[in-house]
Amino acid sequence: MARIEIHQTLCKGCALCTTLCPEELIKIGKQINENGYFYAVFTDNGACKGCALCAKICPDVAIEVWK
């Protein structure tokens, strides 16, 4: 079962990852990180297939995919 890890301090909340996730498991959260951005959060419901599209599109290299 795959999962992703989003590094909150690196995320600028661009939302590119939210548009590419085929399972819609990434959303922009309601919390603000230390840099003043609403960062992306991963909803782990067991549906992540580990496609890594989110990590590939992230301009800040803030996402790691674990298979």
Which tokens is 33 given? 């990180």
**Domain interval for residue 23:** 3-66
**Structure tokens, 8:** 């909150």
Tell me the CATH number at 43.
Answer: 3.30.70.20
Q: What is the DSSP code (8-state) at residue 21?
A: -
Q: What average pLDDT does the segment 10-27 reach?
A: 96
Q: Which among 51, 50, 20 has a CA at the least distance from the CA of 40?
A: 20
* pTM, entire model: 0.90
- Structure confidence by residue, pLDDT tens digits, 44-64: 888 999 999 999 999 999 999
Instruction: Give percent of the chain with pLDDT exceeding 90.
Output: 91
Q: How many domains does the chain have?
A: 1
Confidence band (pLDDT; 50, 70, 90) for 1? confident
Spatial separation of the C-alpha atoms in residues 21 and 8, rounded to whole Å: 18
